[in-house]
Amino acid sequence: MCTTCGCGEGNLYIEGDEHNPHSAFRGAPFAPAARPGLTITGMKTAFSPTRTDSGDLHYGHGEAGTHAPGMSQRRMLEVEIDVLDKNNQLAARNRARFAARELLVLNLVSSPGSGKTTLLTETLLRLKGKTACAVIEGDQQTVNDAARIRATGTPAIQVNTGKGCHLDAQMIADAAPRLPLDDGGILFIENVGNLVCPASFDLGERHKVAVLSVTEGEDKPLKYPHMFAAASLMLLNKIDLLPYLNFDVEHCLEAARAVNPQIEVILISATSGEGMDSWLAWLEAQQCA
């Protein structure tokens, strides 16, 4: 279950499996040490949204930072701590395995339609013959994006999350070993299109890279602050469309830095090629880091 929106896990499917209806944490390859019982005190069981003078309702101001009908803030925190604790242990194991192989692992996050798959295919074509790459593709259904990636000559595996709205560390632990990738290469993880839930789930990546299209509006970082606060880099994509849009680039950059003063930004277009050299240089610098 997603601790942010409560979505179900549905039937997880990883390419190569005919049937794999396991939950996100079934068969996790670790035995966590016993933890003391969780005690949360000083919290109201009932919850009412914050009301502004203009009548707006805010459901994210409670202790849990979110709301679910029929569930107290206390219970939501208990569930979140339990689920994320398991995920974080798996993510730490993933990260250690990736580090041992000197892999640069990037978690690409965005809303649907930001152009991250097109940007990724162009990136892979430019890296072909220079850097070993592989891709884990996350979507609720279809293998369309994995097929697009494989058309570039890059190994890819599709992870379909069913009702799930994000990838988690167990899915990466299941999928990554099935990909042929040389030590020292780059593993791109294209997450499910969603600017909310993937922010909470560590996959074991070195960096989250947020892709924001100029067709989405310059205030997206303020509307979805947790994602941009978690990202190391923002790729402002589709800038070839700027002459046709009422999009304030400076306002967008200010919004991103308001929630994450350390975030790096590259203006880019997979269509025109503008910014691609800067993006590839960033990748090279991360490989050498």
Which range is most confident: 65-74, 156-165, 196-205? 196-205
Q: Which of 59-68, 71-80, 88-97, 275-284 has the lowest mean pLDDT?
A: 59-68
**What pLDDT score was predicted for residue 41?**
52
Q: What is the pLDDT of residue 5?
A: 57
Mean per-residue pLDDT for 57-71? 54
Which range among 35-44, 57-66, 150-159, 195-204 shows the weakest confidence by mean pLDDT?
35-44
For residue 210, give the nearest of 197, 223, 229 by alpha carbon: 229
CB atoms inside a 10 Å sphere around CB 183: 9
> In the prediction, which pLDDT does 23 show?
36
Q: What does DSSP say about strands 207-213 and 104-109: parallel, antiparallel, or unpaired?
A: parallel
Least reliable range by pLDDT among 6-20, 27-41, 253-267: 27-41
- Give the integer Cα–Cα distance in Å for 211 and 108: 7
Question: What token pair was written down for 281?
Answer: 């240089």
**pLDDT band at residue 85, thresholds of 50, 70 and 90?**
confident
Residue 193 corresponds to which amino acid?
G
CATH number of 89-288: 3.40.50.300
31 has pLDDT over 70: no
CA dist., res. 129 & res. 127, Å (int) = 6
Residue 22 has pLDDT above 60, yes or no: no
Q: Is-contact 154 135, C-beta < 8 A?
A: yes
Contacts of 61 (CB under 8 A, 6+ apart): 49, 50
Q: For residues 270 and 280, give the distance between their C-alpha atoms in angstroms, rounded to a whole number.
A: 12
Can you tell me the mean pLDDT for 167-177?
95
* Spatial contact of 66 and 59, defined as CB atoms under 8 Å apart: yes
- What token pair was written down for 178? 């099935």
Work out the pLDDT band at 163, boundaries 50, 70, 90.
confident
Where are the domains positioned within the chain?
89-288
| Strand-strand pairing, 186-190 and 207-213 | unpaired
- Of the chain, the percentage scoring pLDDT greater than 90 comes to 66
Reported confidence tier of residue 125, pLDDT bands at 50, 70, 90: very high
Structure-token match 């996959």, residue found: 203
DSSP label at residue 38: P
Span 127-150, mean pLDDT? 95
Helices and strands in the chain: count of H runs, count of E runs: 8, 10
Instruction: Pick 39 or 190 by higher pLDDT.
Output: 190
Tell me, what's the pLDDT at 33? 38
**pLDDT value of position 272:** 98
Instruction: Give the lowest-confidence range in 160-164, 196-200, 255-259.
Output: 160-164
Q: How many beta carbons lie within 10 A of that of residue 174, not counting itself?
A: 20
Average pLDDT score, the chain = 84
pLDDT in the model for residue 164: 82
Q: Which helix (H) or strand (E) holds 58?
A: strand 57-58
Torsion of CA 86, 141, 120, 22, to 10 degrees: 30
CA dist 44 and 62 (Å) reads 9
Secondary structure (3-state) at 209? strand
| Cα distance between residue 108 and residue 193, in whole Å | 9
